[in-house]
A and B are shown apart, each in its own frame.
Chain A
């Protein structure tokens, strides 16, 4: 029973490059959430998606960040023109239908911007 999968696990980008983070939810889960964890800070909600729909993006920065969850394939969090402050661990979580509060986390992608 595979859990939430994320790749890559580690990503290094130079300032100004684009970062693409991928997430495949657990089998049977249709809801995907992205969180960011900065060093010494708590997890911060970014966006909540269902297939082909962004349900809540209230935690997403207004610029450079976007997310999608296409009909086929993984959810993608895209960060354009990365800056040093984007360096963080990005976690994806998924939940089953009708129990959106029970969120199970993937291993995370650790983004380092040099």
Chain B
């Protein structure tokens, strides 16, 4: 079982729609969760962090965390073509809080 799992996609949504990206993790003791955006050929960019159960909103982005289900998601409202990228979920494992374990990412395509 992979430590962090994401559907590779591509996830295709029309411009203006809500994009929903999902991530599951295997380490029940994980406490810190992050979403990174990576454009093709570029480096990952931190867009959201979440540490507590529930929702955290920042502009058009909402991160949702459910530790009981070991599930974290990212919602992007009013999706724009410029949101087209690969979204990486990252988790801090309980056995080593200094490193991040990344999923392989979900490719999002927003079409006009």
Interface positions of A (Cβ within 8 A of B): 31, 33, 35, 40-45, 48, 55-56, 58-59, 91, 100-108
Please give, as numbers and ranges, the residues of chain B lying within 8 Å of A35 by CB-CB distance: 102
CA distance A59 to B100 in the complex (A): 11
Q: Which of B9-17, B44-52, B64-72 contacts A (4 or more CB under 8 A)?
A: B44-52
Question: 0/1 per residue, B44-63, Cβ < 8 Å to A?
Answer: 11100100000000000000
Q: How many residues of B contact A (CB 8 A)?
A: 23
Please give, as numbers and ranges, the residues of chain A lying within 8 Å of B100 by CB-CB distance: 33, 43, 45, 101, 103
CA distance A107 to B32 in the complex (A): 24
Interface positions of B (Cβ within 8 A of A): 4, 32, 34, 36, 42-46, 49, 88, 90, 92, 96-105
Q: Identify which of B46, B49, B98, B102 contacts A55 (C-beta below 8 A).
A: B98
Please give, as numbers and ranges, the residues of chain B lying within 8 Å of A42 by CB-CB distance: 4, 88, 102-105
CA distance A105 to B43 in the complex (A): 6
